Structure 1
Amino acid sequence: MSVPSVDQSPKERRDRPRLALATQDLILLGSLSLTWLVLHLLTLNQAGQFLSPQNLWNLSVQTAVLAILVGGMVLVLVAAQVDLSVGSLLGLTGMVMAILQVAPPLGHGWPWPLAMLVGLLVGGGIGLLQGYLVAYLGAPSFIVTLAGLLIYRNAAYILAQGRTMGPLQDDFLVLGGGLNGSIGPFWTWVVTLATTVYAMYALWNGRATRSRHGLPTNPLWLDMLLSLLVLAFFAGFLWVMNGYVNPATGQGRGIPVPVLIAAAVLVYMHWLAQRTRFGRYIYAIGGNREAAMLAGIPVKRMLVLTFGIMGLLSGLAGAIQAARLAFVPTGMGSLLELYVIAAAVVGGTSLAGGKGTILGAALGALLMSSIQSGLVLIGVPTEWQNVVLGAVLLSAAVWNARFDRRKR
C-alpha cells in the first residue's frame, strides 16, 4: 500500500480523488471534441458536414435511445452485474406497443398512452424477474440475461408472426422526434437558459457547500474551466437545436422530444446514483458485496430494483425507437446491448463494479454515436465501422485500467 508523501498537506491529499475524477471526464470531453473536429474535416467536401446543425440535430436524436439505456446500465455494472438482454427487451416492449396500437387482441387499436404503459410494465416486470433470479436464486447475471436475450428476441418474432408491425399512431411518433416532435425555438431558449443557470448554480453552490463543511474541492482554476465548458456547451447546443430549420415553418426545429426525455432520464439517474441512499448502496455493493451485507445493506433487494430500473428504461427506449421508425421490425434493437455496455466502459465504468458515473457514460454514448455517424457520412463500410468501434472500446478499456492503477 502506497504511503502519502510527507510533502503533501492533508488538503492536497483529499483533493487528489476529485481532481482525478474531473481529469478523467475532461479527457473524455477532449477526446469527443477532437473526434468531432477530425470527422468534420473529413466531411468538408461532402454535402452533409459533420458539424452542421442538421447532422448534429440528427445525431442527438440517434443518441437518445443509447443514452437512456446507458443510464441504467451504469447502475447494473457498478453493482458488479451485467445485463445482456437490453437490446432484445427493447425489441420485445416496442413490439408489444406496436401490436396494441395496430392489431390488438380486441380488434381495434388501443390509445398509444395505454399501449406504452403496457410496454413499460412488461419491461419493468421482466427486469424485476431477472433481478430476482440473480439476487435470490443465485443465478449469474451473465447467464440470466443471456437467456433473456434469446427469449425476448424470439418472443417478439412469435408475437408478430414474423411481420413488421405498423404504421404506428401519429401522436405516438412525436416521441421519436417525427411529426413536429420538437418544442420549437422559443421553448428551446427557455429550457436551455434555465438549464444553464441551474448547472452553474449547482457547480458553485456545491463547491461552497463542500468548502463550508471542510470537504475536498476542486482547484479554483478547474471549476472555472468547468464553468466555461458548461457555458460553451449550452451555447453550442442552442445553436444546433435552433439552427436546423424546419422547411414547413421557416424556423428552427428546437429540442427534439426524445432528447428531452433522454436528458431527463440522465439527470434523474445522476441524482439517484449520487444523491440518494439507493445510489450509495449500489456503489457499496459493487465495491465489496460481503462488506455491504455485513453493514446491513439489503443487497438482494437493491439488486432486484437495479434490474427493474434497467428493464423499465429498456421499455422507454423501446417506445422511442419504435416512434423513430414508425414501424417495429422483429429485429429492432439487435446487438444494441453491446453498444450500451461499450458506451459505459468508454465512459469510465468498471466491469468489476464499484466505479462509474452517469456523466461519463453519457459522454461515452455520445462518442460512440458520433464515431458511427461520422463513419457513415464518410462512406466507410459497416464492417470497417465495427472494427473502428471495437478499437475505440479496447483503447478505452486499457486506458481505464492504467488510469485506475495510477490513481491507486
Structure 2
Amino acid sequence: MSDPAKPQGAAKVENPSALSRFLTATELDIRLIGMIGALLLIWFGFHFYGEIFLDQGRFLTPRNLWNLSVQTASIGVMATGMVLVIITRNIDLSVGSMIGVIGMAMGLLQAEILPQYLGLGHWAIPILAVITGLALGAAIGALHGWLIAYREIPSFIVTLGGLMVWRGMAFQAANGRTISPLDEKFKLLGGGPYGSIGASASWIFGAVACVGVLALLYNNRKNSRRFGFSLRPMWAEGFLATVGCAMILGAVLLVNAYPLPKGILKQMGRESGEDLTDQFISHGFAIPVLILVAVGVAMTFLMTRTRFGRYVYAIGGNPEAAALAGINTRWMTLKIFALMGLLTGIASVIASARLNSATNALGTLDELYVIAAAVIGGTSLAGGMGTIYGAILGALVMQSLLSGMVLIGFDSSIQRMVVGSVLVIAVWIDTVYRKRAK
C-alpha cells in the first residue's frame, strides 16, 4: 500500500529519464531542440524529395545553403526586433512597407541626388545612403511608437496604416520607377561573389566565434559560482562547448566549399593579369550573414544583460505591474518601436543591396515572414516570452521552407498556403506549451 504522505508521481521525480537528466544538466530548451529537429527535417525532406522525384537533390549543397543564409539575413535582422515588439504585447505590420520606402530613399540618394553634388561614384555616397536609411527607419519606428504609447492607438491599427502609407509613399517617391543600378560599394552589403569575405577571413571569424563561445561558457560558470547558483556538470559544459564550436567550424567548411563562378574568376584574372579559371576560390561568409550575426549578438546582449531587456520582459509579463514598479512603459514602447525601425533600416540595406535596385515592391509580404519567424522561434503572442536566437532560427526555418518549395517547383500560391499554415500551427503549439507550463 502506498504511503499517503508521499506525493503522487514522486517516483518519477526521483528517477527521471535520461533525456530529462540531459536537458537539466545542459539547461537546453526543449523548444530549441524541437526547432533544430524541424529544421533538419525540412532540409533532408526537400533534399531527398528532389533525389527521388526530380532526380537531383539540390537542397543540401554548398551553393543552396550559402544562398539560403543570405536570403535569411534580412528577415532574421527584423525578427530580432519583432521579438521585443511581440513580447510587449504589440505587433508591427508595417515592416515590409518600411523596407520599400527606406530602400527607395536610399536608391534615389545614390542614383539621382548625391551624384549631383559629390560626383558619380564618390566614396561617401554609400555611407551617406546607409546612414540616411537607418535614420529614416528609426524615425518611422519612433513615430509608430509615439502614436501607440502617447496617443493610445492600438499597434495593430497604427502599423496597419503604416503598411499602406509607406507602400504608397515608396510608389510616389519615384512614380513607380525602379531605381537601378546602385553604388558598387553599396552592393557589397547584399552579398554575392564580391560581397563575401573569402576563405581565410572566414576561418579567422570561425576561430574568434569559437573563442567567444568558450568565453561565454566560462563567464556564465564564474557568475553562477559567484552568486551561489547551481553549476552545470563539467561534462555538460564540455558538450556545449564541443557542439557550439563544431557547428561554427562546420559552417566555415560549408561556406568555403562554395567556389566563385568561372565568370567571376575570368573577370578577376583580367584585372590581376593572372589565369584564375582553374583555381578554387571560396566565397566564404557573405557580408549580410555577418551583419545578422552581429545584430543577433548585440540584441541578445541587450535583452539578457541590460536594464532595457529586463524592462521589456517586465512589461510583457504584466504591463500594469511594470508601470506601478516605476517603469516608464510609454517611453519604453517608443524606444522599442524606434529600435524595430532601425533594424528594418538595416534589413532594407541588405535587401536593396542584394537586389541592386530600389523598387516600390521591395519587402512585399516580409511582415508575414518576420512575424512568423518570431512566433516559430518561440515568441509568445500573449507576451512576456521570446528569445533572439529563437527568432533567428525561426527565420531560417521559414526561409528554408520557401527555398525548398521553389526548388521543387511549387508556385507562389502554394508557398503562401504553406507559410500561413505553419504560422497557425506555431501559434497553436505556443498555446499548448503555455497551458502545460502553468
Shorter-normalised TM-score: what interval? over 0.9
Q: 1:17 to 1:86 in 2, by over 3 A?
A: farther
SS at match of 2:29: helix
Q: Which residues in structure 2 correspond to 1:57-96 (within 5 Å)?
A: 57-96=66-105
2:383 is the alignment partner of 1:369: no
Q: 1:106 to 1:61 in 2, by over 3 A?
A: closer
> Is the contact made by 1:48 and 1:377 (CA closer than 8 Å) also made in structure 2?
no
* Unaligned 5+ runs, structure 1: 10-14
Q: 1:133 to 1:55 in 2, by over 3 A?
A: same
The TM-score with structure 1 as length reference comes to: 0.92
Tell me the distance in 2 between the aligned counterparts of 1:255 and 1:19.
29
Equivalence for 2:149: 135
1:383, CA displacement in angstroms? 1.3
1:94, CA displacement in angstroms? 0.5
Computed over aligned residues only, the root mean square deviation of the Cα atoms, in angstroms, reads 2.5
Tell me the distance in 2 between the aligned counterparts of 1:218 and 1:363.
25
> Is the contact made by 1:85 and 1:149 (CA closer than 8 Å) also made in structure 2?
yes
Whichever residue aligns with residue 360 of structure 1, its letter is: G
SS at match of 1:281: helix
> Is the contact made by 2:193 and 2:283 (CA closer than 8 Å) also made in structure 1?
no
Equivalence for 2:224: 210
Tell me the distance in 1 between the aligned counterparts of 2:71 and 2:114.
32
SS at match of 2:247: helix
> Is the contact made by 1:69 and 1:310 (CA closer than 8 Å) also made in structure 2?
yes
1:214, CA displacement in angstroms? 2.8
Whichever residue aligns with residue 299 of structure 1, its letter is: T
Equivalence for 2:190: 176
Whichever residue aligns with residue 124 of structure 1, its letter is: A
> Is the contact made by 1:91 and 1:156 (CA closer than 8 Å) also made in structure 2?
yes
| 31, 40, 61: which one aligns with 1:24 | 31
Tell me the distance in 1 between the aligned counterparts of 2:344 and 2:238.
37
* Unaligned 5+ runs, structure 2: 1-6, 15-21, 266-275
Whichever residue aligns with residue 27 of structure 1, its letter is: G
SS at match of 2:113: coil
1:227, CA displacement in angstroms? 3.4
Tell me the distance in 2 between the aligned counterparts of 1:295 and 1:6.
38
Deviations 1:125-149 (A, max 9, x none): 1111111111111111111111111
Whichever residue aligns with residue 100 of structure 1, its letter is: L
Equivalence for 2:333: 303
1:298, CA displacement in angstroms? 1.3
Deviations 1:42-92 (A, max 9, x none): 223555611110100000000000011001110111111111111101111
> Is the contact made by 2:188 and 2:194 (CA closer than 8 Å) also made in structure 1?
yes
SS at match of 1:43: helix
Deviations 1:356-386 (A, max 9, x none): 0001111110001011101111111211122
The share of aligned pairs that are identical, in percent, is 44
The TM-score with structure 2 as length reference comes to: 0.86
Tell me the distance in 2 between the aligned counterparts of 1:387 and 1:370.
15
1:324, CA displacement in angstroms? 0.4
> Is the contact made by 1:40 and 1:50 (CA closer than 8 Å) also made in structure 2?
yes
Equivalence for 1:103: 112
Q: 1:21 to 1:186 in 2, by over 3 A?
A: closer
Deviations 1:173-228 (A, max 9, x none): 00001351111100100001110121133134313432442335567665554434
Whichever residue aligns with residue 156 of structure 1, its letter is: A
Q: 1:145 to 1:358 in 2, by over 3 A?
A: same
Q: Which has the larger radius of gyration?
A: 2
Equivalence for 1:34: 41
Tell me the distance in 2 between the aligned counterparts of 1:104 and 1:154.
21
SS at match of 1:103: helix
Q: 1:184 to 1:20 in 2, by over 3 A?
A: closer
2:132 is the alignment partner of 1:123: no
Equivalence for 2:421: 391
Whichever residue aligns with residue 28 of structure 1, its letter is: M
Equivalence for 1:12: none
SS at match of 1:278: helix
